[in-house]
Structures are given as C-alpha cells and as structure tokens.
Structure 1
Amino acid sequence: MQTQGAQRRALLRQQSPQHLEYCSSLILRAIRERHSGVSPNALVLGAGACTEIPLTELVRNSDEVVLADLDLASMRLGAGELPTSALRRRVLLVQCDISGDVSVNLKRMLERQPWDLLVPRGAQAVFDAAAECLEQCLVPDPPVLEGLGTGKFGLVVSSLVLSQLFSYPLLDILDRVQLVAPGLLGEQERHSRYQQAASAFRLRVINAHLHLLRRLVEKDGTVVLLSDFRGFVFDVYGTDHDAEHRRTMPLVPRALPDLVRENFTVLEEKHWEWLTDLPVKGRPGRGYEVVGYLLQ
C-alpha cells in the first residue's frame, strides 16, 4: 500500500481532512505573508512525497523549492505530481539525513559494545550500556547539511519529521536489545539511567533541529513547524474524542512549546488530530495529535 503522495492524500481527505487543511493553511499563510525583501526560495525538510505540502502553490510562489529528505524515491514521486514541466524544473531534490547522521553515530556506538559480556550480567548492565551510548552519541547542533547553506531561504518548512529524528534512533536501541537479549525487551521502563538518557537525547535532538531551522531561514524569513506530539489508538470510529475508547502515548517532550519560543516568535499555533488508520476487524485505529507553528 502506498503510504505517501496522491493516494495517501486522497485517503486523508476522507478520514482526516482537517489534517491536510491545517497543514496547508499554515504554509499558504507563510507564502502570503512572506516579506517582499526576503529570499523567494523555499525549503521543505522531511519532504517525503509532500503528502501534506501544497507543493504546486509553493512552487508557483517561489523561485526555487528545495525538498530535503533521506527518501529520494518519495521526493521524486512528490515532485512528479506537479502539473507542468516548468514547475518541476524549479524543484531541487537534496538527499540527506536532516538529523546530521545521528542514527549512524548511534549505530557505531552500539556496535562497539561487548554485548556478549553484558547480557550474562543482566538487564542493569545492558541498559546501562544503552544509556551510555545515548549519553555519548554525537548530535550535531545544528546539523550541517551539504548544499543548503546558511540563511538562504525565505521560507523553511519542517514537515512532520521532528519526532522521527529521535524516535528512530531509540527504536534502533530496542532492536539491538531484541537481537542480543530478547527476554529483556520491555525492561527499559524500569531503568532510571536509561530513561533519563533517552529523555536528554530527545531534548538534544529537538534543540538541534530548532537551531537548524534558525540557521537555514533568512533573517525576517518564516518557518512552518509541523509535528506530531502525542499518538493514540482507538477502537470505535466516531468516538475518537472519547477517552473511554482511546489510549494515548506521548511522543514529544512537554518542553517543546518552551523550546520553540526560546528560538522563535510564534505568529500562529494550531492543534488538530490526524487519523492515520481506522479500526478494522479487531485491530485498533491509530492517530496523532499534531501541533503546527508559524514562526519568525
């Protein structure tokens, strides 16, 4: 099943139209209110296939639009949906890890651990080692993304990628634990050092991303930050607002609003829900609570 692009967008229009509407409205407002003196170039970080990005309008109102993501195939899919070749020529695709290779750095540290010696010593030793990897993992702040420069863009969009920048590396740790000691998976919740290291790691990655946005946007330019901040599952469609039928899972630290305000002036803030899957045949539906910021 295609999870991005036109087919995904059509599905979202049916089950979560507010998500597309609010993502687009923030970006379109940023386009309308872009200062006349700032660069007419725009950048989308975590672009993927631009499922939530009003790409045609963005390109028509920019000299050049740069899409940046690790997934080159999806970016090609998104750019290929533009209606004319003239518009497609104004899009530049940059394949990069916008975290600055945090996952690569963490993987290197995990591979250096003597797991064969740690596992026989039990959960404490395993999760202390995992915590040490997180504590010492290099998080470039801000990341240096080749070809994007500094202050070149009048509009920068961070498109629903923030939580992925830290959640994927944390999942890599749990994958490693499952590989070397599957019986310990789930024990991480009981180890305070690991939990503290994971919390600090999340904050470091978030700060680095906010600093990246600040560095990439031109002075007096505009940033649109779209991020999920809480996930939820629900078992009865149509009652997704009823606490009795949903279970929530925090994704982003509560400090995010304060961190955003430390780095930017908030021009607009919106909150909404994004349903990604409806419940079917005993499988619960899934969704996210999302925040969107228009920043300067």
Structure 2
Amino acid sequence: MSTQTRQRPATAGPPAPPAPRRKPSRRIGTVLLGSVIAVLFVLPLWWAAVSALRPQRETFATISPVSLWTLLPRSLDLGNFARLFDAEFGRALLNSTIVTVLTLVAGLAICATAAFALAVLQFPGRGVIFAVMVVSFLIPFDAIAIPLMSIFRDARLENTYLALVLPGVGNGFAVFLLRGFFQGVPYDLAEAARVEGLGWWGVFWRIYLPLSRPALIGAGLILFVFQWQAYLWPLLIAPDPNMTVAPVAIAQFAGQQGVDFGAIFAGTVLTALVPLLILLFFQRYFTQSVSSSGVKG
C-alpha cells in the first residue's frame, strides 16, 4: 500500500508578536500632562485678553489673592480700546501692516531666488556663501542695530518705509528653509527643462516655485513674524510719530505721567490677534515645510 505524503508549506519563521498596546492609564496620563502644559501656555494670553476688557482699576486688584475674578472680569469695559484709538493707534497698526506686507513680498522674492541659486546652481564659493548666511541669522539683530542705523541715516533713509523694510527682506533662516526644500526637488526635472531650452529663470519660475508652496508659506510666516513684532529697529530709525509702528505705539502708553495698563493690554491683544490667526491657519504648511527642509542641506 502506497502512502501519499503531504508537503507542509514552508514558513518564513515564527509569526511576529503583536505590537504592544499602550496601557490606558499611561495614555490618560499623557493626555492630562499635555492638557496641563497647554493650560499653562494659554493662561497668560487669557489674562491679558481679560485685562483688556476690564476697567483699569481692576487690572491688578484681583491678582492677590488669586480667585475666579483673576481670570474673569467682574464687568466689561471697552474704554481701554477707546483710549487706544484716541491716541492714533490705528495709524500705527496701518504702518505695521504696510511695512509687513512690503517685507513679505520683497523678502520672499529675494530669499526664494537666493535659495534657488544656493540649492541648484553650481558656482565657486557656494558653500562659503551659504555658511555666511547661516551665521548671519544666528547673530542677534540688536547687536548690529546701532551701526546699521548710522548707515541708514547717512543715506538719508530715516523716517521712511524703505528704512523699515530693508533689514527684514534678507532673512537667513528663510533662505535656509527654502534651500533645504529646493534640494529635495529632483534635479532631473531641471535637467529635462534645460534640454527643452528653458533658462534657469524659467526653471525656477515654472518648476520649483509651483512645487514649493509649503516652503514658501513657511518662509513667509518667518518674515511676517520677524517684521510684525519688530520694536528696536523702528524705534531707532523712525522716530517720526507718523511712522510709528504698533509695538512702539504700545510702549508709548508707559510715560512720565504714568502707565496706562489697560491700553497696553488692549494694544497687545490686537497686535497678537493677527499673527495668531495667521499661524493657526497656516500651521500645517509651516510644519510641513520645516519637516521637509530640516533633514537636507
């Protein structure tokens, strides 16, 4: 009698053990820790916003001892915002908007073209130029503000929008971010476009820019925040009241006659609200641009 032997299927090895599941207690602890950290970050902003809506006499009256009324106003008062705009804060806010928009447009054009040249074009000294740019954004601007002011005054640029805009258009960190992103674009695309007769400007405009939307948004946010919150440079180069920007106008509520904390909080809330909304809207693109650029270079 013949017997048929059945062949057992070959196995690659023992089955992989199931992935360990996170314990519910550890997950709850992580959520609670994250919530506590988030609250600690939000509380100062909340207190500033509440202080802008309460009468000035109550600004610090509820701090000691701390109570529910420290974080909630007993009564709402819009007088702080009224005094803010009586002091022509609206003009200062408009100046900040004009300067920031001009810096954003000119800065993106300059930083993007510089990053493209450093990432794609081959020329002697490219690495040295990039190293100098990296070092430039590591130097605090306050360290060079005084000598830079003397140069601008000698050029008769004091109290002009040009003087307020120029120092912000060449941002080393924005160039660093865009260069890293451009290096991630396949160089074969540029070579194919060059074979078809497209110049380097056409390669930059038609291929690299359309593919770099997240990086451009990230670099634009860097330029925006840098210029919107600028205080020392506008204070030095634009002392004319008609050229005052929002951060300087807020500081002027602290004078020899006293400190108007209510107006300061109101101005702080208004100036912080604009970048907060913009960052919340574009945070996904900013995170994507940083993650795509941080591993290159």
Is this a same-fold pair by TM over 0.5? no
TM-score, scaled relative to structure 2: 0.27
